[in-house]
């Protein structure tokens, strides 16, 4: 599932920095 999500996200034009920031925020919230 995670891989599919990443693939879908990759399809969208989003800077890697922004993607990492989102992941970081998600991780922080989850933690």
Domain boundaries, the chain: 1-31
Length of the chain in terms of residues written: 31
* Buried-state track 2-16, b at ≥16 Cβ within 10 A, e below 16: eeeeeeeeeeeeeee
Query: What's the pLDDT tens digit per position in 9-27?
Result: 656 677 788 888 888 888 8
Closest by CA to 6, choosing from 25, 21, 24, 19, is 19
How far apart CA 13 and CA 8 sit, in angstroms, is 10
With residues binned 3-state (H G I as helix, E B as strand, rest as coil), the percentages for the chain, rounded to 5, are 80, 0, 20
The verdict on pTM exceeding 0.75 is no
Per-residue pLDDT at 15: 78
């Amino acid at each position: 599932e995670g891989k599919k999500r990443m693939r879908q996200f990759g399809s969208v034009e989003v800077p890697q920095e922004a993607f990492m920031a989102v992941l970081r925020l998600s991780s922080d919230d989850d933690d």
